[in-house]
Amino acid sequence: MRIGIYPGTFDPITNGHIDIINRSVLLFDKVIVAVTTNPSKSPLFSIDERIEMVLSSTKSLSNVEVDSFDDLLVNYALHKNATAIIRGLRATSDFEFEFQMALVNRKLSNELVTVFLMPNEKYTYLNSTIVKEVASFNADVSCFVPEAANKKLLEKFSAKKTKHL
């Protein structure tokens, strides 16, 4: 069985992430969307909220599993018997960092390959940070994120606005 791991913080999941997941399910027997913590980031949503958003947004895809981890990605992938790590490349600016990580991961385990997928061009400018910033001004971000993420963003930012009143 070909298992691909698509790791990320997904804070929140965007339509660009969904596009990469949809491309991945065509290549792998099973895709594990692995929600992780990142010590260099301060997430808006808890790990449970992020898992819930990913689950809700991928429920129609029968070969997608959603999980979380806080270990070294290579260790997690090997534990899950994965054959590949899936990474999305939006623009050339992503490539250098992702290339370095792929080489480090290959050095740590020759059993895993990194597969780079490009999203539809309409998502190349999109990332979770931009979505959160726009949503923080109560702007409509429903065209950028799945319904579950939009609902959570509305809840989060209306709650923050209420606290400041």
Catalytic positions are: 17, 41, 90, 128
In single-letter form, the type of residue at position 91 comes to: A
Q: How far apart are CA 165 and CA 162, in angstroms?
A: 5
CA–CA separation, 128 vs 126, rounded Å? 7
- Full strand arrangement of the beta sheet holding 113-117: 64-69, 30-36, 3-8, 84-88, 113-117
